[in-house]
Chain A
Amino acid sequence: MVAAWARMAGEGGARWRQAAAATVLVAALAACAPQADPASVAGFRQAVATGNFQAATNIATALARPDSSGRGTELLWSLNAGAAALHAQDHPRSVTMLDGAEELMRGVEEAGLNFGQTYRFGTYDAVMVNAYKAMAMLGRGDRDNARVEMNRMEERQARTVQRFRDQISAAQQAAEQQAASDPSRAQALQNAQNSPEVREQLQALDRWRSYQPFVNPAGTYLRGVFLLNSGVPGDAEAARNAFERVAGIAGNPRVVAEDLAMARRAASGQRPGHHVWVIFENGQSPLFEQLNFTVPMPVFMHGGVTVRPVTVSMPRMVFQPSAYEGLEVQAGAQRATTQIVGSIEGVMASEFRTRYNALLAAAVFEAIAKAAGISIVGAATQRAHPAVAILADLAATAAANVTQSDTRSWYMLPREFQAARVPVPANGQLSLRALGGPAETISVPQGRSSIVVVKAQNPGSPLTIQVHPL
């Protein structure tokens, strides 16, 4: 075998090189996202499901490949580690990991959104980095920097709306140009758009039409609660604005309507009484899987044109269940049930829908480029040694069909944020009961307001609770 390779190299060195060059090109096109070790990932998910966030933090931190400063060098696992550390109440680590994640995101943004191998984060990811950091800062008792993180969250949303719209319209324009320049491409794109797989996905995403893309009511709600209780002049007015926005997106749930009324009173000089806000991170945010479908297209091969089915690969959003329907909160004689104030599922679905057409066009044209890769190799290997030709052809066909889209996502994000508010109980005892699930009793500080953050990732998960005085 070795001898055969050597002979091939000796006989037709130039041809061999040209075939190799084409193969390298195809391989580069097919470069796929790096995968974390499956056993660690399974261990992480298991730890999160069972509420063992310390273990989850450790696994995720290792996968984030921290540098000497403790910050991760891998974005997705930095995000997971930061969020897991928040619920493990390891707040300094949470801030470190999320700071690192923010830095990695910044690097991508500075490079003109050139993601390379980096996780293709969504706007909702970036906003939630700051929301979680704000919580971790509250956990550290650092209200000044919690405010900074909440301001960052707002800033991100404000600038994202415009910038990503520009970016998406630019991508769409490019796609239209490509389609216009080559009728076969337009046809391929239309074939893809009409495929049942794509239609089914669009239908599922349309359920979240009420959610504007790039606006995350969960973070805004948290900011409203913080500002309502800060006691800083002017904050009550900002809290009122925040609650108004949340009410507009989340369909005006009662808890937000009451918060809004309280913020209005506070803005007119009436200081709010002390309350406990229960924020419930419920369930699992949508995951993505790879959706493959084939589009027939003309391919130039071995000196002739043949129609070949080429696999187009798209991420498909797969919705996940809530852990529980809600939480029943009891403080003395007062009762309240948590209501949805921000659906991460909705935020993700609306953003994904906004990007969908551009993504689909890119996926179709990428598949065409790979088919062209087949064509290049086909042309290059025509006069090559037969063995080389077969090898290169095999490699190219494999590459064209192993298209991989980025199906990663920030696992730790919940399906939704729910909230309830009760007056601070006289005995400081707060009972939380998941509807159809476990119950817990906790102590909350008296004489001041506080936020109780509850996390349950999956049906059957325990309630992981932390209390932050405001």
Chain B
Amino acid sequence: MIRRSLPLLALGLGLAACSTPPPPPPGDPRLIITPAVQSLSFSAPVVNAGPDGRLRVNVNVVNPHGGDFPLRIQTDWLDETGRPLPTLQSRPVFRSLARQTVTTIEADAPSPRARDFRMTFDIGN
């Protein structure tokens, strides 16, 4: 019984791996999720470079709650030495996540000098 089901299980696991991307590593180091917002689920950040060479980041956030959720997002942009760039884009942004929906949080680098980022999620008020 066990012997027969093992290959099936392996097949099933393999199929699952093909059809869906691997789950986000618990705690992408670039996303800082404070305890106050851990009840939300966050996708892995999708990072692209725009036509002008600036990085753009998208993160999907699911609000599973029955009520809207106030979210505060702060994105720091880092240069090649890992130092934060002084920019208005790093000021906190407030979004209200409608109940039981997915919201895409976007952030654009202020200049092509930005090589990396750090996005902090916290409760809005």
A and B touch in the complex (CB under 8 A): no
B-side residues, CB < 8 A to A, are none
